[in-house]
Amino acid sequence: MAEQRLNQKTATDNLGFSLIELLTFILLISLILIAAAGLIITSIKNTKNTQYRALAEYYAKSLENWLTNERYKSWSDFQAKTGSNNGSSSSRNYCFNTETVSNWPAVGSCNNNYSLSGRYKRDLVLSYDSATKKITANITVTWKGISGNDTVNIKRDYSRFEY
């Protein structure tokens, strides 16, 4: 009878988890959850950065389209915006920090003025090369990203069509 009770006790002792097994299980689950949380946070950051970049590209392309329209309105007026009134090479900076582009702003760069949607600045360097008779537009949209400032650049050359 005593031997039977000893065997019952041993069988009962082996049915449960030990404290070390339980702690190991909790540690493994915790590590998996921490890794999953890290992946989720990285994914959210990447999604946000992609959203910021897409809007910056939109701002750059909208300015490029507006400049193309200005070029077709009047080549001489467009050339004058570079500061070249007598055909010499020249260059000017402009800050287009409005949502929609409808007019030429005053001459000058944006510096640290991120007033376009509260996060962006849109600079234009308009240059005239008297040797090639081309106007080059360098559009730079800079924004305050999650991990610092990021930039989108578009360079476009315009020339006068001969008729």
112-126 pLDDT, tens digit per residue, is 999 999 999 999 999
Q: Is residue 97 part of a domain?
A: yes
Instruction: Report d(CA 120, CA 65) in Å as an integer.
Output: 19
Q: Is residue 1 part of a domain?
A: no
Residues of the chain above pLDDT 90, percent: 70
The reported pLDDT for the residue numbered 163 is 41
The reported pLDDT for the residue numbered 19 is 87
Q: Is residue 15 part of a domain?
A: no
Chain position carrying tokens 């020339």: 159
The reported pLDDT for the residue numbered 9 is 55
Q: Is residue 55 part of a domain?
A: yes
Q: Is residue 73 part of a domain?
A: yes
- Residue 26: exposure state from Cβ atoms within 10 A (0-12, 13-18, ≥19): exposed
Q: Is residue 27 part of a domain?
A: no
**pLDDT digits 0-9 by tens, 84-97:** 877 788 999 999 99
Instruction: Report d(CA 86, CA 70) in Å as an integer.
Output: 20
Positions in the chain short of pLDDT 50: 163
Total number of domains constituting the chain: 1
- Please give the residue range of the domain that contains residue 50: 33-159
Q: Is residue 106 part of a domain?
A: yes
Q: Is residue 81 part of a domain?
A: yes
